Structure 1
Amino acid sequence: MKLSGTILGAGFCITANLLRQYFLIPAKRGGILLFALAVLLVLSGAAMSGGEGKYIRRADVAFDLNNFMLALELYNKALEINPKNVKANYKAGYCYMELHEPKKAKVYFKRAFDITPTFSDYLITFYLAQAYHQDYEFEEARKYYQQEMAKTPRTDKPYLQFLQKRIDECAAGAMLINKPSVAEVINLGRGVNTSFSDHIPVFLPGDSAMLYTTRYRHGDKNGLLSDEEKLKYAYLSKDGWQQTAHSLGSFKTKQEHGLVNIGPQGHKLYTFHTTKGLHVSQLEQGVWGEPQQLEYPFDEGQLNVSVFITPDGKYAFFSSNRNGGFGGLDLYITARQEDGSWGDALNLGPNVNTAFDDDAPFVDPATNTLYFSSLGHNTMGGFDIFSSRLENGEWSKAYNLGYPINSTHDDLYFVLNRSRTSAFFSSNRAGGFGGKDIYQVLFSVK
């Protein structure tokens, strides 16, 4: 199989980590945002002396512990007493964004923006733009992103590039959302999805059984939340997809491993460990063995996140941030050698990889089509799902699968069923049960 081996230097690029540093919890960010919170405290100082102060102080504790549901409840209690408290409006809006409710978030951000123009010109403009963006109001979002750009020092090039990318995403979203839809997207419902994050669907042979991961959030007596991932099993019944209590053998105790994929015959389970990378477990006599770390070439770079093995077992596609890529996570291919080992990794090139994260590969060998998720290309916001076909030894330019498969949120881990009439993926788009949910794509039959 001929493949393009062109690997361009990444140069100066904005990776996903750089993007995210501008949208983290304010209390945990750098000096600019800490200063902004100080401004908020000063602005609301007089109000804090009133009855709403006790609620805001308690809300701030929950907020700093990432307990956004509790924080939101307390900020709203404060706003019942004083609807014009800038800090409570701002942080309530932020909580709604974390809870994937941009429609509600923009109401609170706009209220804070209107109450205190001097503050809104400093920080709230970005969050207001973000809320409009995620609620598909692309023109309004673009307006506020441009306002943010106008007041940003020209020397802050990374942030200006970041804002320009958001403006580009709005332009892409406005175009994509107006294209005729070729599919219907439905939530798999409460039989699979929970109030936590349910994601990374992979299918056992036959397409009637599915493995996926649920990331639980647990709170201790002090309100501190921690995450725990568990592998789940669901089957297709006459009533739709339903979770079962099916045992995953000894592997169910390996909570530090997140599901990545399953081998073509259903006998190998691929997982990701946050500090040790990609692993594989072998199914023997109905029990999953201990996860073994994948070796060369899956162990190069600081981060190797996902892997897909073709049905014939000859090729593996995987994501990695190893040196020599275009930036962030790139997608690579490696071929199985005669002795069973894997050969050198080959970057899939500039038509697939970008200066941002490119991840979650799935390959349809019947059509030589790669499906993957990316923060780059013409995404409409967050990760979008793209396709690229292998033609004459080259990967074609990435094609955005469009709305409603893609949204202004993160859309990841796209997989086709064997008849190619349906697909599944996970998304944290608004309207779900909480966190990421698993969705099904029903393609239009013409």
Structure 2
Amino acid sequence: MRRAVIFLILILSAGKTLQAQDVPRMQDAFFEAEYFLLSGDYADALPYYQGIYSVMPDNTNIAYRIGLCYLNIEGKKNLAIEYLEKAAVNPASKYREGLLRQKQAPYDAIFFLGDAYRVNYMFEKAKDAYTRYRSTLLPDDTENITFIDQQIAACNNAPSIMAEPVKFSVVSLGNKINDSKDNFFPVISGDGNSLVYMTSMKFYDAIMFSKKIRGEWAPPINITSELQSDGDQYVSCLSVKGDVLFLSKDDDVNSDIWTSRFTGGTWENATKMKKEINTKYWETHAYISEDGTTLIFASDRPGGFGGLDLYISRLNDIGEWGTPVNIGPEINTPLNDDRPFLIDNGKKLYFASQGQYNMGGYDIFKSELQSNGLWSKPENLGYPLNTPDDNIFFCPAENGKEGYISLTRENEGEGKDDIYRIRFR
């Protein structure tokens, strides 16, 4: 970040007097920004793009990238609109990625403009942008057409969902858990005494662990090294007693499910689950039932309904996981269905979905297992728990009466994302 600030000061001080010899410096800044952008480090990429844009204000490709950065920084998503509106005016018919000399934005700028409008509650403008983007897609691009149609439908759904807000109380887990960093993906053991969650460090996402002592959460311990994680593992769930931790590990080629056991006061090195669960495709999140005999997880393996689907595997008599079974079309959609939590002895399911009746992106849903063995129609948990932005992680507790979630609340909390316990009224 310091290098980016220095570069920005140099650019601004030079103003319009920059000559041809400054082009290499601009190119270096562009490469730095592109590296951070591809790494998902949007806040680090932003100053570099801003410095370039101050000298090249007519470069709508840079405006597009600034808009992308703002769209991925909590608390600043409203600032994306101005830049994406400019980028979407005249996108390039032949776009070349990764070049500073590329002066026009790609057609994707129109799509992300729709996203920017949607997450800022500008639903009519969002529909217009999505409709315009849809017109650029080829007729056989069914996957993207399905996704865009869902976003348009979500913009139609949102006002109705917001008109009937759900009521719940919100309590922060306090400054022992929440600090100035982003804290997210909280999972709690069934007995309520163990908590594992993620914290964004400077160069990696750490896995943190805390135990409840006399009703209070103890200062958390960074267990990333105990698990032998390189900062590329993310928590999924804890067992009832808090002695088994499930994680997912993404290596950019695929994602697998891993486990670790808590023995002797420490967490063992995480190990990958066997081929009955993991495949060469993506397995992103798993949840173990209270009795330890049912595993529900998300996978995009062939044979599903599209995107990530939810699957169930059961432990057999010899302690091995059986062949996973797709949970069915009542839950799974043509888009992604992810982050399952199965409670009440397997009778209540909470999950995130892009394809159900939602407000855009992912929303959190619940469904109950009926006497005929089928799942009930998923119920949106409602606004403001769900918003027009992505809402992808909710850990239920107390048989669904409570839950743990990370939220960004203005004028409240220790950092950008803090962990809260909510209780439905």
Q: What range is the shorter-chain TM-score in?
A: 0.7 to 0.9
**Aligned-partner SS, 2:392:** strand
Q: Percent identity?
A: 27
Higher RCO (C-alpha under 8 Å, 6+ residues apart): 1
CA distance in 1, matches of 2:144, 2:18: 33
What is the CA-CA distance between 1:74 and the residue it aligns to? 3.9
Structure 1 residues 149 and 434: alpha-carbon distance in aligned structure 2, compared to 1, 3 A threshold:
farther
Distance 1:205 1:79 in 2: 51
- Indicate the RMSD between aligned Cα atoms, in angstroms: 3.8
Q: Report how far residue 153 of structure 1 moved.
A: 4.7
- Residue of structure 2 in register with 1:443 after alignment: 424
Shift of 1:303: 2.3
| Paired position in structure 2 for 1:200 | 185
Residue 331 of structure 1 is matched in structure 2 by 310
Within 1, Cα distance between the matches of 2:60 and 2:272?
A: 50
- Superposed CA deviations along residues 67-114 of structure 1, whole A, max 9, x for unmatched, are 432442244445556765534433321210122332111122234456
Partners of 1:279 and 1:154 lie apart in 2 by 40
Residue 251 in 1 paired to residue 226 in 2? yes
C-alpha contact 2:191 2:240 (8 A) present in aligned 1: no
Q: Secondary structure at the match of 2:361?
A: coil
Structure 1 partner of 2:78: 103
The structure-2 alpha-carbon separation of the partners of 1:51 and 1:332, relative to structure 1 and needing over 3 Å to count, comes to same
SS in 1 for 2:393: strand
2:246 aligned to which of 270, 273, 281? 270
Structure 1 residues 71 and 424: CA distance shift in structure 2, 3 A:
same
Alignment check: 8 A CA contact 2:30 2:52 kept: no
1:139 aligns with 2:119: no
Structure 1 contact 134–409 (Cα < 8 Å) conserved: yes
Unaligned runs of 5+ in 1: 1-45, 219-227
Of 68, 72, 84 in structure 1, the residue corresponding to residue 42 of structure 2 is 68
What per-residue deviation string (whole Å, max 9, x for no partner) do you get for residues 356-410 of structure 1? 2222211221682100112211232222111110011111111111211112333
**One-letter amino acid of the structure 2 residue matched with residue 200 of structure 1:** F
Structure 2 stretches lacking a partner, 5+ long: 1-15, 94-103
Q: How does 1:302-313 map to 2 (within 5 A)?
A: 302-313=281-292
Q: 1:243 to 1:103 in 2, by over 3 A?
A: farther
Paired position in structure 2 for 1:33? none
Q: Which residue of 2 aligns with 1:401?
A: 381
Say whether residues 1:233 and 2:233 are aligned partners.
no
Amino acid at match of 1:412: I
Deviations 1:271-314 (A, max 9, x none): 22335722322222223233333235313452222222221223
Indicate the SS of the match to 1:305: strand
Shift of 1:50: 9.5
Match of 2:352 in 1: 373
Give me the TM-score of the superposition, normalised by structure 2.
Answer: 0.77
The more displaced of 369-378 and 80-89 is: 80-89
In structure 2, distance between residues paired with 1:268 and 1:121:
46
Name the CA shift for 1:48/1:346 in 2 (closer, same or farther; >3 Å): farther
Out of 159, 162, 172, the residue aligned to residue 174 of structure 1 is 159
Structure 1 length-normalised TM: 0.74
2:237 aligned residue (253, 256, 261): 261
Residue 280 in structure 1 maps to residue 259 in structure 2: yes
User: Does residue 316 in structure 1 map to residue 295 in structure 2?
Assistant: yes
User: Closer, same or farther in 2 for the Cα pair 1:347/1:338, shift >3 Å?
Assistant: same
Separation in 2, partners of 1:188, 1:114: 45
Task: Name 1:351's counterpart in structure 2.
Answer: 330
Matches of 1:205 and 1:395 in 2, distance apart? 23
Q: How many angstroms apart in 2 are the aligned matches of 1:281 and 1:320?
A: 20
SS at match of 1:142: helix
Q: Which moved more, 1:431-440 or 1:266-275?
A: 431-440
Mapped contact 1:201–1:210 kept (Cα < 8 A):
yes
CA distances 1:327-353 after superposition (whole Å, capped 9, x unpaired): 222212222323333333222110111
Alpha-carbon distance change, 352 to 266 in structure 1, aligned in 2, over 3 angstroms: same
How far apart are the structure 2 equivalents of 1:383 and 1:366? 26
**Contact 2:121-2:388 within 8 A present in 1 as well:** yes
Aligned partner of residue 83 in structure 2, secondary structure: helix
Partner of 1:130: 115
Q: How many residue pairs align between the two structures? A: 389
Which whole-Å CA distance do the structure 2 matches of 1:163 and 1:249 have between them? 38
Kept in 1, the 8 Å contact 2:147–2:335? The answer is: no
CA contact (8 A) 1:192 1:241 kept: no
Aligned position for 1:165: 150
Aligned to 1:6: none
* 1:360 maps onto 2:345 in alignment: no
